[in-house]
Amino acid sequence: INIVLNGREYLQTQSTVGKYGGELINSTIGEGPKTFNPFNSKDSTSSSMAGLMYDGLFSTSPKDGSIVPRLAKSYETKDGMTYIVRLRKGAKWSDGEPITADDVVFTWNNIILAGYGNTSLRDAVMIDGKLPKVYKIDNYTVKFVISKPFAPFARLMSAQIAPKHIFEPVVKQGKKYFDSFYSTNTPPELFVTSGPFRLKEYLAAQRVVFVRNPDYYMIDKQKQKLPYLNKVVYLIVGDLNNEILKFEAHETDVISLRGSNVAPYKLKEAKSDYKIYNLGPDTGTMFVVINLNKRKNKEGKYYVQPEKQFWFADKNFRTAVDWALDRKNMVQNIANGLAQPLFTAESLNSIFLNKSIKGHERNLAKARQLLAQSGFKLGQNKKLYDKFNNRVEFDLYTNAGNTEREAIGVMVKQDLEDLGMRVNYKPIEFNTLVNKMITTLDWDMIIMGLTGSPLEPHDGKNVWNSNGSLHIFNQRTEASYVDDRLDFEKELDEIFDKGALQTDFSNRKALYDRYQQIIYDENPIIYLYSPIRIVAIRKKFKNIYPSQLSGLIYNLEEIYEDKN
């Protein structure tokens, strides 16, 4: 509810009135955030931490996925092409400066649409090659104008907003300087933010500490300012085993439970200090991605070795990999049965899921038949060779420390070696993996996961569009873009351009059904399984409202600690 107090327009929560104080300690695996700049983030850890410090105009309702206000109190459109957004008067940056239309217009025109940092949003809002126009009407009113009715646009307006008085001098120094701004080396006191929490401390490979923003624009039903918690801490734990040890030692307060860890926690729950929530199928996807890149780097060296290019470009080879993978075995032995095999690019809880794609069980005979059709043959000691007598050998990467993905890697290696392939399995540090995947491009196959929206496939345009910033299976760099699209890439481009322009759900559904069918048939990305999200949190935390869409602690500004 929007409410006016002393000339300031607050967002009033309808949750139970809580108590001030306390801290919530979470954990993150890997090496921690790569940046605190929300406009330059390319990984979920960095994005989630920046999300505590920077708010957008809107967010998504955890109940039904509708668009709900944040820095903006409302928006309206009459023709689906002009959007009038009214900002919340009285919201302030952490240095006391007001948050106004100037900040919104600057963020969109000078950062997002100018292509600074992560260009995923810029890619997503482009319509037929045209970008939106963003204008200031007055200090608290902004007008967005797009060239055609565009179904995802209202949701895309949720982008985080930057303080113009801080970022404008940075933008003027160019994109390279921008990419280094608000890095993990920046002193916490220099951050000017708008979110419920501010950065207090970052110790590399140890912890990230956020403290309460005392002048946030949200209040409770008694008109007390939120958030309630004094601190939110992320311990950087390295791997999933350490994450479990930290929770059991009461050093952390919340944990995602996986596979065989669920049952023992369930047995102890009644007499424990934690409560377990089943959030349903994961909203993200887990997969093996194959590098189809046939181009060269600046030094004239192929990103992928020529003989491997031949294998990976062969649809029969990719499909054979798909048929060789034992998803049921993964579900039973890695997820302990708490998952379902996945064959689609949309998550199992997506409203756009193509339910006609049924998938298949493992079939090595089918896989071998497909390989034989493309001239692959078994030599001595059951080693696989291509028709040019090259031994089929390649590297398989995933992020070290994620024991679930590491276990998947072991199984994928074994499944493919059953076909005679030699798989060099190499778990590496997450940030190194991301850099290899989207910057240096020197990899063969990767086990990876991506978060997604079960409400809007267009959020994944940067993955499926041929020049998208996360088009990982055939990544094209902006500086050396060449239009060498494969036929199915061209069709994907058309689908995502058309899908966003459809306003009728059934018409959009038909298009997005087709894109899922293309990925299933072509297998540039081979999906594995969808885990059930099960999360445990200490019972002392209140205002916990589990959501299949948003998770468990999406509402940190409302959560409070009650030790009684």
Whether 470 and 41 have beta carbons less than 8 Å apart is answered as no
pLDDT at site 268:
95
Structure tokens at 226: 């939120």
Name 140's Cβ contacts closer than 8 Å, sequence gap at least 6: 86, 87, 88, 89, 100, 101
Residue in 477, 488, 442, 151 with CA at minimum distance from that of residue 345:
488
pLDDT band at 480 (very low <50, low <70, confident <90, very high): low
Angle at 332 between CA 326 and CA 336, to 5 degrees: 145
Residues 458/511, Cβ–Cβ less than 8 Å: no
Instruction: Using the predicted structure, report yes or no on whether residue 229 has a pLDDT greater than 80.
Output: yes
323-342 mean pLDDT: 95
User: How buried is 57 (Cβ within 10 angstroms: 0-12 exposed, 13-18 middle, 19+ buried)?
Assistant: buried
Tokens standing for 410? 């072991």
Residue of 434 and 563 predicted with greater confidence:
434
Given a contact cutoff of 8 angstroms between Cβ atoms, the answer to whether 149 and 507 are in contact is: no
What's the pLDDT at 482?
A: 77
pLDDT in tens, 149-185: 999 999 999 999 999 999 999 999 999 999 999 999 9
Percent of the chain surpassing pLDDT 90:
90
- Does the pLDDT at position 227 exceed 80? yes
Q: What is the pLDDT at residue 564?
A: 77
Whether residue 116 is predicted with pLDDT greater than 90 in this model: the reply is yes
Tell me the pLDDT of the chain averaged across its residues.
95
Dmax of the chain from CA atoms?
83
Q: Would you say residue 513 has pLDDT above 70?
A: yes
pLDDT in tens, 354-385: 999 999 999 999 999 999 999 999 998 899 99
Beta carbons of 386 and 392 less than 8 angstroms apart: yes
**pLDDT reported for residue 1:** 87
Query: Does the predicted TM-score (pTM) go above 0.85?
Result: yes
Say if residues 346 and 452 touch (Cβ distance below 8 Å).
Answer: yes
276-297 average pLDDT score: 94
Q: 364 by DSSP, 3-state: which? A: helix
pLDDT at 30: 82
Q: Exposure of 373 by Cβ count < 10 A (0-12 exposed, 13-18 middle, 19+ buried)?
A: middle
pLDDT value of residue 44:
87
**Cβ neighbours for 360, distance < 8 A, ≥ 6 positions apart:** 323, 343
Phi and psi at residue 45, to the nearest 5°:
-65, -50
pLDDT in tens, 393-415: 999 999 998 889 999 999 999 99
Angle between helices 403-417 and 240-248 (to 10 degrees): 150
Cα–Cα distance measured from residue 43 to residue 61, given in angstroms and rounded to the nearest whole number: 23
Nearest one of 554, 556, 562, 539 to 19, comparing CA atoms: 562
**Is 70 exceeded by the pLDDT of residue 554?**
yes
How large is the average pLDDT for residues 201-227?
97
Residue 479 has a pLDDT of 64
Taking the CA atoms of residue 437, residue 440, residue 441 and residue 442 in that order, the dihedral angle to the nearest 10 degrees is -110
Nearest alpha carbon to residue 362 among 291, 411, 397: 411
pLDDT, mean of residues 32-61:
94
